[in-house]
Amino acid sequence: MPQTETEGTEVSPRTRLRWWTELPLILLVYGSYSAGRLLARGDVSTAVDHGLAILRIEKALYLNAEHPLNRLFTREAWLGVPADFWYASLHYLVTPVILVWIFRFRTAHYRAARTWLMTSTFIGLIGFTLLPTCPPRLLTAGHGFVDTMAQYSSYGWWAGDASAPRGMGAMTNQYAAMPSLHVGWALWCGVMLWRYGGTRITRVAGVAYPLFTAIVVMGTANHYFLDAVAGAAVMGVGLLLAPHVMRIVDRVRGRLRPRSTVVAQGSGAAVSSIVSGGCQTSAGERIPRQREERLGDPAEPDASPTDAGEGAPAAAR
């Protein structure tokens, strides 16, 4: 049975994927994401209006998880300080570690996992651009929120104005609160641990990590509850779009691949024509066909018709 194009060209994921091609791609996407956040700062008054609108919606829905958590983290330093470290670091550490782990040990699932993460990240960037939102910690004191990052800034590397290192607060967009990709990326990590970890510990971590991240972003007054919900929703949309993104990429590769295939086939046909003409390389080298016909055994008589006619009477005598 003849193989289809996919069956005939299919190779293992480990053969297709190389770290020296994946790493620049990841860095390019993350660099675009970071640059996009900075460019999508928006108007401060508009961001404040969006933040207050979220508070009004949550009040109408009887949702108020941010205030009690923020008061707890503000009052108890043994909770607030680790929460600030969690918010300022794990977002950038756990996600790439799990991505590398899937690349090394769950290679067959890497491409889908990476595409899901990247697609969701770009959707989140669209959200930052269209809906700049003031986080709870930057609202006026009358709204009852305390910036724990500023309160406990002496414990960490961050300054009082942002979770970025001291002196680099101006290099981050503090109004990129909706959706919360802290929660979104943590949810992605949780799903990866649950599906591919294979142990009870990894499954517990897969549930605990996104749950604790959602608590941390609200307790530190960096995000509203609806920001966390939006972060989870963005990951859901990215999960649905990821297969379509991969198909589009495959189609683009398929259109580019025939050109190289034609070139390869043309060179192969030229080599085969040379071999059929009598040339053969390496250990099987032989003389061209026309030379073989001319160079016979010197001891044998020439088999031409003239010679044959002259030789017959001699044989009779």
DSSP string, 17-31: --HHHHHHHHHHHHH
Residue indicated by tokens 């990841």: 26
Nearest to 137 by CA among 103, 160, 156: 160
Is position 67 within any domain?
yes
Number of domains in the chain: 1
Contact 267, 223 (CB under 8 A): no
Quote the domain boundaries for residue 154: 17-255
Question: What is the separation of C-alpha 217 from the centre of its chain, rounded to a whole number of angstroms?
Answer: 24
pLDDT digits (tens, 9 = 90+) for 166-210: 555 555 678 888 999 999 999 999 999 999 998 999 999 999 999
The pLDDT score that the predictor gives to residue 153 is 86
Residue 85, pLDDT > 50, answer yes
Which among 194, 180, 195 has a CA at the least distance from the CA of 233? 180
Does 41 reside within a domain? yes
CB atoms within 10 A of CB 70: 23
- Cα 288 to the chain's mean position, in Å? 55
* pTM listed for this prediction: 0.72
Residues in the chain: 317
The reply to whether 270 falls in a domain is no
Rounded to the nearest 10 degrees, the angle between the axes of helix 225-276 and helix 44-60 is 110
Tell whether 49 is covered by a domain. yes
What mean pLDDT is predicted for residues 124-140?
Answer: 90
Residue 303 lies in a domain: no
The DSSP result for 60-84, as a single string, is HTT---HHHHHHHHHH-HHHHHHHH
Report how far Cα 238 is from the mean position of its chain's Cα atoms. 12
pLDDT in tens, 39-79: 555 678 888 999 999 999 999 999 999 999 999 999 999 99
Quick check: bond before 179 cis, omega within 30? yes
Domain-located, residue 153 = yes
Residue 88 lies in a domain: yes
